[in-house]
Structure 1
Amino acid sequence: MKTRGQRLLLLITFLSFFLGYAQVKVSGKVAFRNKGVADVNVTLKDTYDGATTDAQGNFTFETSEKGNHILTFTHPKYETVEKPVLIENQDLSVSTDLKEQISEIDAVVVSAGSIEASDKKRATALLTPIDIYTTAGADGQISSALNYLPGVQKVGESEGLFIRGGTGTEAKIFMDGSLINNYFSNSVPGIAGRDRFNTSLFKGNIFSSGGYSALYGQALSGALMLESVDLPDQSSYDVGISPIFLSAGFQKLGDNKNYSYGATLGYSILSLMQKVLNFNTDFIDAPQGLNGDFNVRIKTKSGGFFKYYGMYDSNKMGVKSESLEPGYDFNMIRLKGKSTYHNLSFRQKFGKYLLNAGASYSYNQSDLNFSTQTNDVESERTKLLTDGNYINFKAVLERKINKISALRGGFEFNNTDEKLNFEAVNKDYKDLISSVFAETDLGFSNALSAKIGVRAEHSSFLDKSNIAPRLALAYRLATNWTTSLAYGLFFQNPESKYINGPADLDFQKSQHYILQIQRASEGRSLRLEAFYKKYDQLVKTINITPNVNQNQQIQSAFNNNGYGYAKGLELFWRDKKTFENIDYWISYSFLDSKRDFMNYPMSLKPNFASAHTLSAVAKRFIPEWKLGVNLSYTYSKGRPYYDILTQNTTNIIRHEGSLKDYNALNISFNYLPNLGKKDSKAFTVFVLSISNVLGAKNVYGYNFSMDGARSSAVVPPVNTFVFVGAFISFGVDRTQDAINNNL
């Protein structure tokens, strides 16, 4: 027994010695750009042997494997590396350099000049439909909600987006890539037109206040790109009821969820609110409108999309005001307007290529009648009739180069046919703008990317062409911190309403330089942006009187000798994380701008530009009360105003000054009585909204008499407006959306 035990002990000792001798140590270092990388998994392929790198990138492990093997190095942020190794009886040292894993999620995004609200980007979403509906003072309008973002000026007397020292017509709006030629409703001078389009039609937007993509053109200042909803989540029926409007609509989703169709119809009239509120404007015909739309969406078997949207809109109003001219008691303006818009878009992937094509048609008619009243006797009416037909076609072909790089190009046609009749002026304006463009996204790494593009256009009316390069760079400075640079050259035709006679005109031109620093983290976003814009070839006009017996004048273009600049700083901060159930944002803009354009006799600060603009928005949702409370506040430094007269083709300033500072505090409440009732067949929201709750008496400008001796202030139609209404959805539960978005 003793001999057998000794033999067994000897065998165990021998095996232990052999196994210990057979273990080979594998070690090395893993680095990226000469810096060690921690937490890299280093393993022998198809074995259990391996280790994880330490903070300096070093690793070591032992193995009893022999022969040819594959050593793998894996990390989520880097490409996997495989190295062949030969394991013999000696220790092995293996080091390697990693390559960054290119990822759409981790890659830095070029964002100078733009703010995006969609599911495609990781940045804090801005101005989604729920954001817009719950921003107090926005009245559910996309354009009004944009006034609470940096770079946008508050100009209450005229529709449009006034961006960074640009006029309202220098910003263009697109739907699924196609230009919307008449986004705003017809109106009378001094009262801004409203959005024609239903906010819920769109699932997201990209708002560019400068340096925008070469895919878009004919805008000196900026662009708003709206993306319509594809397919609804489920069929639904919606009703809206308030003292100023009634609306109803439906969306029907096909059983196999590959198509849908829907329609809405609405009617609005302000006469009841005139009796309740103290209006500044004397409406002899209460503003009223009828609108309807229809949509069809079809998903192809290969994942493509056809989308059609059509709408019709009509409105009318009449305004009476005290006359500034001697011999007349009152001036009266009556409006009848109507428009229609149709948009057809197609999106389809063909192998490695993505085709986006769209066509749109719009028609707009504005019938304005001017008259005077003396001793209750109305004069003969003077008619200003304008109508226009607009056709837009655009196609873009895109090919992905890798996960974060792409190449795209295409062409666009925009045809305009406008007629104007006013006294001795009869105009038929026709123009076809043909464009081609190319653009590439270059992702050099997750920390560095670029966007390079060029656009070329030709105008048949001007019989001239242009070439506009665009360039943008983005670099990640540190975790959550990025910086972007953008440069672009932008062209735009002179506004057709100023082309009332022979003139040798060219494209108007602007150059944009933008520097942005941004920090984006979970629930928080900070943006700092500096910009400089240089304007050239701006249109100069003179005032002409079509009929010496009338008191109306129109501006007529005569050359492109105008110029100007705009420069400034902007700050934007949004926070949805710090305070429970509270979402707020703050924006500030500083603007220094001067222009010599239109009928300005010299370089002046534009009458639509405010040096300082501050906005704050806060939203608080109280789950136990099923109540959302929303506040917004806007302050802007008083804008300049001018009274400019044309004498013998020379423009002179008769009066000038500064308006009082603008202030407005708005509040809205949203009550959801059936929130949390899982068996509820309907989702209801009651809304109470009060605009300018403190009743600040804001002034937008001044009108002057023909001789300059008398003036009257241009003010909002009403200082404080109160809206109450109920919105009911049948067949769809929006409870979670309401909670998530602080409705």
Structure 2
Amino acid sequence: MRLFATIVILVLFNSFVLAQGNLLDKKITLAINNNSLEQVLTELIAQSGTRFTYGNTIDLKQKININFSELTFKEALNKVFDPLEIKWELIGDQIALAPGKKLSFKISGNLKDSANKSPIEFATVYLKGENYHAYTDFNGRFYFDHIPPGKYVLVINAFGYKLSERLIEITDQPVSVPLELSQQAIILSETIVTADKIIEKVSVSEMELKQVQIESVKGITNDPMKSLTALPGVLTKTDLYGSSEIHVRGGESSENLFLVDNIKLPLPFHFSGQSVFNPEMLEKAEVLTGGYAANYGNAMSSVFNLTTKNGNAERWSGNVDLNTSNPSYLIQGPLKKNKLSVIVGLRSIFSVLSPIEKKADLTSKFTYTLNYKTKINLTTLNVNDYSDTSFQKILPKANALSKMNAQNFQVQSIISDKSYSKTSFLHSGWRLNIDPEKYGYRHINYNSYALREDLTFYPKPTTKFKTGFEVSLEDEKSDIVEFYKTTDIYQTDTTSLIQRRKVNTINVISSAYAIYDATIFKRIKVNAGLRIDHNQLGNILDLSPRVTMGYDLTSSTLLSATWGSFNQAPTTYQLIQNKNLSSNHSEHTIVSIKQKITPLISGRVEGYYKKYTNLVIFDTAFAYSNNGYGYSKGIELFLMKETGRVNGWISYSIAKSDKKRSLQDKVYPYYFDQRQSLNIILSVTAKEKNRKRFLPFLYTFDFRYATGEPYTPITGVDSVAGKYQFTTGSINSARNPDYNTLNIKFQWHDRAIGKKKKHMMLFYLNFWNIYGHSNLAERSYRIDPITGSVSVTNSYRKFFDLNIGLKICFNYYNPPKK
């Protein structure tokens, strides 16, 4: 009996399979022109004799164009449904349809104060453990798009309110979440985040890059300034190693303020032009290219504020990055778990790879949590540079040594439930010795010791008062030979005005500021401040008022404008030569429109005008005076996608800058007046599903373009007293060729390696100037002493370079214990 039943079941099953096979082998012909999916299903039913089942997730009204003849039913189904991303399955005598791609929905919400029911703006909202972040607008609204079904923890973090977590579940429809938060005293974690942020709510000309964005565009030379010079308004002579000359909106390279954990660095670059900042050590970089608030001064163009990471307070980890250009090493971990942590990063260049230059920088940070109200940080930076070109024939023969060291001992503490302070004890030192064979020498020994206090008070979450002071003692001993020329081109066989300057003095510089930052009348934001600076050596007192106003046109559009006064004191040597000098002065007028296009995509259009007066120059009377002046104006566009599988930014600037500079009799085009610049930074992460292991996981594209800077043309040669001299055209009246380059990075990685799957290894290739474009670096002229003819030598930047690297991260993952 059992045998008979088994045979019957097998026969029935075989008949069922054969029936399905016969059904799928039927021949189908379709000719559909701009008709609905519903009509297509009707035709398929008529020709196959089967039925279709589906839910309301299938759009029957979508239009289809399809034409084929004598295909099997299986081939016909694939032909129809594959382009529509619809899955099909034969079940019995019917075809079941389902969406081929995962459904996604929207999460939205409205955040209010539980006491007065007013909207809470600028709150951070994110899904815990997921890559979805948003900020509430002035009505307290937020939303996320394209969220797949599932359970999530929604986290809401607003300054001055209790942290809130809400469990939500998405099934088959969008979710709307009404939320209310209760006010509470400031907690330490919020203090640390807010105290180190210089970008105010209504700042203009501001950009912030997180560590991931910095890492993606650091280039062959492992330099975060490569990322920052791709931002609008920031220009440099972009070479393989970069350039220490960074010009922001027509400003001199000396007009920028560089900070790392609040430490002012006088010249944060190696000899090669590579910055001393280690990208592995950075948490974020804030860049303000104009109109910044009153808490920072003595800089007329910009503030570059780089914040280092705290060490891992729970477990030890680290990485080794071995490559053919700039190997680096990092270690971090708890000296006392959840109490005292340390992080140390080292970058270096081996002499085998760079026989001309040996360089290294070591950055460290200790973080100690004294209690829930007090945290102590100690940041140190040590830089060593040595260059010897005496053995080669290309560069001028010289020996050069540079040593830099900087420290910041900082105490962050909560004073009351609505105020906190940040006290910093700062030091930066720099020793430089350059002894060339035939050009001017430089001997510098500089030290700065400073005390800075910042106090912040929140009477309510939408209003902030901030005040502070800084007193610094600057000790400079220097002996320098300088060259002054009317132009910025390198001319040989000509004499320039040579001046030797010696300094041995101590100067005291003090400053104080006050800022009011608030949201008023719901849509209006204001940031107003006053700064006072005093220079003891020149007895100079500067007042710098600044104000920024913003208006929310819509919940995603902000119109803002700023006006500010910015002063920068003369150098110590200039004041020694002329104690009647006043500070260099500029005024910034900026109008900005910011648009939040999606939660992850934002854009900005900004116009600016900078007026320069009282610029300290070495004038035609061969003395320092305040006779320099000029202007800079421009329009900038900036579009950024912060995170996601495809992310990056596009920046475009059109600008013009004219100035009267040293030994010039009137205003001429500024020597770094690049009229247009375009930067496109794009990072693409490959989909893990079905990715072949030999294909890269991450692709980064870095395109830079800028029109040529001006130069002074040589028009001929005159003979004066038996000596040949150049004759020139108008100063900076000609233009160099345009600059452009494309850099590409490919990166492969394994998600986890090692017995316990705690480590990660990645391999990468960096291609610099991949299509080998010839970019002009320098033009020099020489007169033949016999014939009097002029020869021109053009030097070009390196055509192409490749960096190969292997990075191993230890204890990168922390798998849960079984």
2:281 matched residue in structure 1: 201
- Indicate how the Cα distance of structure 1 residues 266 and 79 shifts in structure 2: closer, same or farther if over 3 A, else same: closer
- Indicate how the Cα distance of structure 1 residues 581 and 430 shifts in structure 2: closer, same or farther if over 3 A, else same: same
Find the residue that maps to 2:234 and give its secondary structure: coil
- In the TM superposition, what are the counterparts of 1:17-56 in structure 2 within 5 Å? none
- Aligned partner (choices 653, 656, 665) of residue 742 of structure 2: 665
1:590 matched residue in structure 2: 654
2:259 matched residue in structure 1: 174
1:613 matched residue in structure 2: 677
- Aligned partner (choices 427, 436, 459) of residue 370 of structure 1: 436
> Is residue 2:308 matched to residue 1:308?
no
- In the TM superposition, what are the counterparts of 1:507-518 in structure 2 within 5 Å? 507-518=583-594
2:183 matched residue in structure 1: none
Please tell me the residue identity of whatever aligns with 2:330: G
- Aligned partner (choices 337, 344, 348) of residue 267 of structure 1: 348
2:466 matched residue in structure 1: 408
2:757 matched residue in structure 1: 680
Please tell me the residue identity of whatever aligns with 1:143: M
Q: CA deviation at 1:136?
A: 6.3
1:524 matched residue in structure 2: 601
- Aligned partner (choices 230, 248, 259) of residue 163 of structure 1: 248
Find the residue that maps to 1:673 and give its secondary structure: strand
Q: CA deviation at 1:508?
A: 0.2
- Indicate how the Cα distance of structure 1 residues 595 and 300 shifts in structure 2: closer, same or farther if over 3 A, else same: same
> Is residue 2:330 matched to residue 1:249?
yes
Q: Residue 333 of structure 1 contacts residue 369 of structure 1 at CA under 8 Å; is this kept in 2?
A: yes
Q: CA deviation at 1:240?
A: 2.0
Q: Residue 713 of structure 2 contacts residue 729 of structure 2 at CA under 8 Å; is this kept in 1?
A: yes
**Structure 1 stretches of 5 or more lacking a match?**
1-74, 82-97, 118-126, 274-284, 324-328, 373-380, 545-555, 736-743
1:354 matched residue in structure 2: 420
- Indicate how the Cα distance of structure 1 residues 599 and 678 shifts in structure 2: closer, same or farther if over 3 A, else same: farther
Deviates more, 1:496-505 or 1:337-346: 496-505
Q: Aligned residues, how many? A: 590
1:85 matched residue in structure 2: none
Following the alignment from structure 2 to structure 1, what is the Cα–Cα distance between the partners of residues 474 and 713? 33
Following the alignment from structure 1 to structure 2, what is the Cα–Cα distance between the partners of residues 389 and 581? 46
1:642 matched residue in structure 2: 712
Deviates more, 1:506-515 or 1:154-163: 154-163
Following the alignment from structure 1 to structure 2, what is the Cα–Cα distance between the partners of residues 697 and 527? 32
1:94 matched residue in structure 2: none
1:238 matched residue in structure 2: 319
Q: Residue 705 of structure 2 contacts residue 738 of structure 2 at CA under 8 Å; is this kept in 1?
A: yes
1:430 matched residue in structure 2: 506
Q: CA deviation at 1:654?
A: 7.4
Following the alignment from structure 1 to structure 2, what is the Cα–Cα distance between the partners of residues 509 and 655? 24
- Aligned partner (choices 218, 225, 233) of residue 143 of structure 1: 225
Find the residue that maps to 1:610 and give its secondary structure: coil
1:101 matched residue in structure 2: 119
Find the residue that maps to 1:130 and give its secondary structure: helix
Q: Residue 202 of structure 2 contacts residue 526 of structure 2 at CA under 8 Å; is this kept in 1?
A: no
Q: CA deviation at 1:448?
A: 1.7
After superposition, what is the alpha-carbon deviation per residue over 1:567-600, rounded to whole angstroms, capped at 9, x for unaligned?
11000112368xx722132110010111112333
After superposition, what is the alpha-carbon deviation per residue over 1:264-315, rounded to whole angstroms, capped at 9, x for unaligned?
3443136437xxxxxxxxxxx5221133333211012123211111122111
Please tell me the residue identity of whatever aligns with 1:462: G
- Indicate how the Cα distance of structure 1 residues 266 and 148 shifts in structure 2: closer, same or farther if over 3 A, else same: closer
Q: Residue 328 of structure 2 contacts residue 346 of structure 2 at CA under 8 Å; is this kept in 1?
A: yes
After superposition, what is the alpha-carbon deviation per residue over 1:619-668, rounded to whole angstroms, capped at 9, x for unaligned?
111133461110011111111023899x9xxx997764211100111001
Find the residue that maps to 2:566 and give its secondary structure: strand
Following the alignment from structure 2 to structure 1, what is the Cα–Cα distance between the partners of residues 568 and 780? 29
Q: CA deviation at 1:178?
A: 3.7
2:151 matched residue in structure 1: none
Find the residue that maps to 2:750 and give its secondary structure: coil
After superposition, what is the alpha-carbon deviation per residue over 1:127-146, rounded to whole angstroms, capped at 9, x for unaligned?
21211111264743222211
Find the residue that maps to 2:249 and give its secondary structure: coil
Following the alignment from structure 1 to structure 2, what is the Cα–Cα distance between the partners of residues 202 and 136? 12
Following the alignment from structure 2 to structure 1, what is the Cα–Cα distance between the partners of residues 325 and 620? 39
Structure with greater contact order relative to length (CA < 8 Å, sep ≥ 6) = 1
1:335 matched residue in structure 2: 400
Q: CA deviation at 1:468?
A: 0.4
- Indicate how the Cα distance of structure 1 residues 221 and 101 shifts in structure 2: closer, same or farther if over 3 A, else same: same
Q: CA deviation at 1:497?
A: 6.5
Following the alignment from structure 1 to structure 2, what is the Cα–Cα distance between the partners of residues 111 and 319? 49
1:293 matched residue in structure 2: 363
- Indicate how the Cα distance of structure 1 residues 443 and 297 shifts in structure 2: closer, same or farther if over 3 A, else same: same
Deviates more, 1:313-322 or 1:662-671: 313-322
After superposition, what is the alpha-carbon deviation per residue over 1:461-488, rounded to whole angstroms, capped at 9, x for unaligned?
2211010001011111112111111111
- Indicate how the Cα distance of structure 1 residues 159 and 628 shifts in structure 2: closer, same or farther if over 3 A, else same: same
Following the alignment from structure 2 to structure 1, what is the Cα–Cα distance between the partners of residues 110 and 520? 18
Following the alignment from structure 2 to structure 1, what is the Cα–Cα distance between the partners of residues 736 and 202? 35
Following the alignment from structure 1 to structure 2, what is the Cα–Cα distance between the partners of residues 451 and 687? 44
Q: CA deviation at 1:102?
A: 4.1
Please tell me the residue identity of whatever aligns with 2:682: A
Deviates more, 1:524-533 or 1:288-297: 288-297
- Indicate how the Cα distance of structure 1 residues 99 and 294 shifts in structure 2: closer, same or farther if over 3 A, else same: closer
Q: CA deviation at 1:673?
A: 2.5
Structure 2 length-normalised TM = 0.67
Q: Residue 638 of structure 1 contacts residue 658 of structure 1 at CA under 8 Å; is this kept in 2?
A: yes
Find the residue that maps to 1:672 and give its secondary structure: strand
Following the alignment from structure 1 to structure 2, what is the Cα–Cα distance between the partners of residues 264 and 664? 30
> Is residue 2:813 matched to residue 1:733?
yes
Following the alignment from structure 1 to structure 2, what is the Cα–Cα distance between the partners of residues 431 and 308? 26
Q: CA deviation at 1:263?
A: 2.7
Following the alignment from structure 1 to structure 2, what is the Cα–Cα distance between the partners of residues 320 and 641? 30
- Aligned partner (choices 598, 608, 631) of residue 565 of structure 1: 631
- Indicate how the Cα distance of structure 1 residues 573 and 490 shifts in structure 2: closer, same or farther if over 3 A, else same: same
2:339 matched residue in structure 1: 258
Q: Residue 242 of structure 1 contacts residue 724 of structure 1 at CA under 8 Å; is this kept in 2?
A: yes
Please tell me the residue identity of whatever aligns with 2:536: S
After superposition, what is the alpha-carbon deviation per residue over 1:229-257, rounded to whole angstroms, capped at 9, x for unaligned?
23426321221212334433321224541
Q: CA deviation at 1:429?
A: 4.5
Q: Residue 533 of structure 2 contacts residue 542 of structure 2 at CA under 8 Å; is this kept in 1?
A: yes
Please tell me the residue identity of whatever aligns with 2:524: L
- Aligned partner (choices 196, 205, 220) of residue 300 of structure 2: 220
- Indicate how the Cα distance of structure 1 residues 639 and 129 shifts in structure 2: closer, same or farther if over 3 A, else same: same
Q: Residue 764 of structure 2 contacts residue 804 of structure 2 at CA under 8 Å; is this kept in 1?
A: yes
Identity level (%): 21
> Is residue 2:690 matched to residue 1:599?
no
Please tell me the residue identity of whatever aligns with 2:308: S
Please tell me the residue identity of whatever aligns with 1:473: M
RMSD over aligned CA atoms reads: 3.3
Following the alignment from structure 1 to structure 2, what is the Cα–Cα distance between the partners of residues 107 and 394? 34
Please tell me the residue identity of whatever aligns with 2:612: Y
Q: CA deviation at 1:346?
A: 1.4
2:84 matched residue in structure 1: none
1:88 matched residue in structure 2: none
- Indicate how the Cα distance of structure 1 residues 461 and 715 shifts in structure 2: closer, same or farther if over 3 A, else same: farther
- Indicate how the Cα distance of structure 1 residues 479 and 249 shifts in structure 2: closer, same or farther if over 3 A, else same: closer
Q: Residue 217 of structure 2 contacts residue 226 of structure 2 at CA under 8 Å; is this kept in 1?
A: no
Structure 1 length-normalised TM = 0.73
Following the alignment from structure 2 to structure 1, what is the Cα–Cα distance between the partners of residues 641 and 545? 36
Please tell me the residue identity of whatever aligns with 1:594: D
Q: CA deviation at 1:317?
A: 1.9
